[in-house]
Structure 1
Amino acid sequence: MRHLLLFALLLFGMGAYAQNTFPSSGNAAIGIAPAADVPLLVNGLIRGISGGLQIQNPGSAPNGSWITLTSPRSAPGLALAEGDGNGNIARRWDTYVKGGAYHIADNNFSTTQSRLTITTAGNVGIGTATPSNLLEVNGTIRSKEILVESANWPDYVFEDNYKMQSLAEIEAFIKENKHLPGVPNKMEVEENGVSLGEMNRKLLEKVEELTLHLIEEKKERQKLEERLSVIEQNNRK
């Protein structure tokens, strides 16, 4: 019995040594042989209970920078922090899943504001935590170029069968409604905003209609000038 016990302990020790290596000096490994260029090598899952996992660069926290895999605000996430060199945390960013969306938040320890949000529907919000469109920005967008695709470009205005309102009809509409026909009014814009593609299409439609009105006015003026010239010639005779 005693020999069997010694043999079992020997087998256990050999198995433990094959799985875990903790040398007194050099690199260590768990579940795999150690690697020369890795101080700690783990073949398997690392799980932290209640404390999470923190990785920091050389220097004592909070003077350095570090990454914490934890649960900010009771939601699984990743925290990135940076020290100011004086024992204080200069900035902290939290990334977490909450309310069915992925958030990147600026945490200044008094308030936490979501700066970037991605919902499960694929909507992206910048400066808003509840985007209802594919992209919502609560603030100013600055860009060198914006390409807006638009269907039904208003070249139909120049077709022979296009029915254009007369200037008298447009005047009557403006007097009654205080805006151009086919263009949203002030209340609609304040409530719903403006679609850039649709508004550009509408504005071009009005420019093309105005161009046609100017062409017609020029033709009418030329006719009047010709009639006036004939009358002047008759008067001279």
Structure 2
Amino acid sequence: LDALSDPEVASAVGCSMFADLTSTAGTIYKFGSDHGLFVYEGADGKKRKVCLHLDEFNELVGKEFVPMANKAGGAGFQLTAYTQTMSDIIARFGDRARAGQVIGNLGSIIMLRVKELETAELLTSQLPEVDVNLIGLHSGTSDTPGNPDVDFQSRTEQRLTSQRVPLLHPGDLTRLPKGQAFAFIGGKLFKLRLPMLNDEKSLPKDISIIANAMRKQYRSSANNENWARMPDRWSEAA
């Protein structure tokens, strides 16, 4: 939408698209995805998944996005929004409550390295605290005056204590290496490592190269996996 050169036009077009998609989602929700179309014999009539990827989300989002994020899931819409910081969305709306309403409708969070603590807390604030065991080593000596047979006494102790700490600290997200991320999906936290490709020359020409390498290096404890016995010509097998 060329938001870098003309943000006003990009915002207007983006909001119009969201409004139109919201109307379409309402039609699909009420009448199905085949509404207004010729339905041939044997059609399943199922809703099709509609995947929206919204890059530079803060440049596009407006009040038209809120009802779509709230209710379009029933029409098969899946929204993926990309932005740098929480402050970008707050500045866009000029209202922290409205920005929180938008963020609250995004179920899963995948967060790479961020520089703003408030953005990091968007993920860490949803995680529980955990018990961490701490082992302390204590040693000491003492004199024994009046006892000619004992010059001193010593002791060494190990003490095990428990402390409640956050499962993930906001500072952990500000120090992530490049290509690593945390994902909070379905109420579970995952640590991600994304492969870093140097250039196009490092990409394999065919998926069979990857499969052959996996046959040599990959080991699984599952007895029911038979992918290693698949044919080398993966395109024909598909």
Compute the TM-score of the two structures, normalised by the length of structure 2: 0.23
Of the two structures, which has the highest relative contact order with CA contacts closer than 8 Å and spacing of 6 or more? 2
User: Bigger radius of gyration, 1 or 2?
Assistant: 1
